[in-house]
């Protein structure tokens, strides 16, 4: 690790030591990272990845931390904070977009992976571009949204994504069309190929700003009405099972309010596990296991976690087992 820190210092790349990951995710859970790297731009991001590989230090690329559950023991390696960068959003007007409605005019929007998805949505609104309304209110960066093909209210990133430029595992910068990214429900090829998303290109149709604003406001109002946005969480905790909804099944099993420690199945939306105070990763995982087992026994549906679990599991602790309790 000392070699990496020396190399980062020599390259002028900022970093912190033993940085608590709970401060960098929406769940507010997680132990320290050995090294927390803060690249200022794309060149520093690529350099940080190269340096970590050269000294054989494992690394994790972090965006806004909105779909992540960090382990209580933290991360033994380097966490590279992509959202520390400050890239711009570019717009190319009146581009040709074969396969879409020929009666509409499309503009290309090119955005860095570090930009917040909400910022991209607002830029689209300001330029009267439609297609990203569904994404307004989804917490996270553009890179994270592409990585998991984020979606909501009937829309997904793949609906408007045209191409992605990324750094391959071999260190080469390439641009690949969306059709080659294996985009499906909460999945992309980046989960397997080790690539680092650098930027994404979207094609958005020109529309009416008032209509776009109205749709965005409507979807945000729905989120605030139905989701526990006042408490730390990783968003939807369970993937949607084929033919049903996780929240419906969990509610049907009477699990709203079930808890382990300070981890709780939200009383507002059963599809969310929230942090009501000082929940640990262990609390969350024990609660999720309890929920999954109960739903399986009562409904026959096998639920799967949606958040990515990152870090090094803590050694077995000499403490009494906690039990999930329905409230």
* Residues 6 or more apart whose Cβ sits within 8 Å of residue 245: 271
Report field, pTM of the whole predicted structure over 0.85? yes
- Collapse the DSSP code of 326 into the 3-class scheme (helix H, G, I; strand E, B; otherwise coil) and give the result: coil
Q: Is 233 known to be catalytic?
A: no
Q: How far apart are CA 5 and CA 33, in angstroms?
A: 13
Domain boundary assignment for the chain: 2-84, 89-225, 228-327
Q: Let me know: does 193 contact 168? Beta carbons within 8 Å.
A: yes
Nearest by Cα to 64 from 122, 126, 130, 120: 120
Q: Over the stretch 115-139, which tens digit does the pLDDT of each residue have?
A: 999 999 999 999 999 999 999 999 9
Q: Over the stretch 191-212, which tens digit does the pLDDT of each residue have?
A: 999 899 999 999 999 999 999 9
Which numeric CATH code is attached to 2-84? Answer: 3.30.43.10
Q: Is 236 known to be catalytic?
A: yes
Strand locations in the chain, DSSP E?
Answer: 14-20, 32-38, 59-62, 68-70, 75-81, 89-95, 106-112, 129-130, 151-152, 155-156, 161-167, 173-177, 196-206, 259-260, 263-265, 273-275, 308-310
Q: How far apart are CA 30 and CA 136, in angstroms?
A: 27
Q: How far apart are CA 229 and CA 65, in angstroms?
A: 15
Q: Over the stretch 162-185, which tens digit does the pLDDT of each residue have?
A: 999 999 988 899 999 999 999 998
Domain 228-327, second-level architecture: Alpha-Beta Complex (3.90)
> Region 93-101: what's the mean pLDDT?
69
Note the pLDDT of residue 95: 77
Q: Over the stretch 136-164, which tens digit does the pLDDT of each residue have?
A: 999 999 999 999 999 999 999 999 999 99
* Class of the CATH-defined domain 89-225: alpha beta
- At 11, list the tokens: 């390259």
Nearest by Cα to 16 from 56, 62, 55: 62
Strand locations in 41-88, DSSP E?
Answer: 59-62, 68-70, 75-81
Nearest by Cα to 70 from 21, 18, 141, 35: 21
Measured in Å, how far apart are the chain's first and last C-alpha atoms? 46
How do strand 75-81 and strand 273-275 relate by DSSP bridges? unpaired
Q: Catalytic: which of 186, 199, 233, 266?
A: 186
Query: Of all residues in the chain, what percent are helix, strand and coil, respectively (each to 5)?
Result: 30, 30, 40
Q: Over the stretch 4-62, which tens digit does the pLDDT of each residue have?
A: 999 999 999 999 999 999 999 999 999 999 999 999 999 999 999 999 999 999 999 99
Note the pLDDT of residue 320: 44
Q: Catalytic: which of 66, 188, 236, 247?
A: 236
């Amino acid at each position: 690790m000392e070699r990496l820190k020396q190399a980062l210092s020599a390259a002028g790349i900022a970093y912190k030591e033993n940085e608590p990951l709970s401060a960098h995710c929406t769940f507010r859970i997680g132990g320290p990272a050995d090294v927390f790297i803060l690249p200022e731009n794309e060149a520093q991001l690529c350099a940080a990845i190269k340096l970590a590989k050269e000294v054989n230090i494992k690394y994790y690329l972090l965006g806004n931390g909105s779909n992540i559950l960090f382990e209580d023991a933290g991360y033994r390696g380097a966490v590279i904070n992509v959202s520390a960068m400050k890239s711009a959003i570019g717009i190319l007007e009146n581009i040709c977009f074969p396969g879409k409605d020929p009666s509409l005019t499309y503009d290309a929007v090119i955005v860095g992976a570090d930009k917040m998805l909400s910022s991209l949505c607002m830029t689209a609104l300001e330029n009267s571009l439609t297609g990203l309304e569904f994404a307004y209110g989804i917490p996270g960066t553009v890179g994270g949204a592409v990585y998991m093909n984020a979606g909501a209210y009937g829309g997904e990133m793949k609906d408007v994504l045209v191409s992605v430029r990324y750094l391959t595992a071999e260190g080469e910068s390439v641009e690949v069309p969306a059709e080659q990214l294996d985009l499906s429900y909460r999945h992309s090829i980046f989960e397997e190929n080790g690539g680092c998303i650098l930027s994404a290109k979207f094609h958005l149709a020109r529309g009416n700003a008032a209509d776009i604003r109205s749709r965005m406001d409507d979807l945000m109002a729905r989120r605030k009405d139905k989701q526990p946005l006042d408490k730390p969480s990783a968003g939807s905790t369970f993937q949607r099972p084929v033919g049903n909804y996780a929240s419906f099944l969990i509610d049907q099993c009477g699990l709203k309010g079930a808890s382990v420690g300070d981890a709780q199945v939200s009383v507002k939306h059963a599809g969310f596990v929230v942090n009501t105070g000082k929940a640990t990763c262990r609390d969350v995982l024990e609660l999720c296991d309890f929920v999954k087992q109960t739903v399986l026994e009562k409904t026959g549906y096998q639920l799967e976690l949606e958040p990515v679990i990152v870090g090094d599991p803590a050694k077995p602790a000499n403490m009494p087992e906690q039990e999930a309790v329905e409230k």
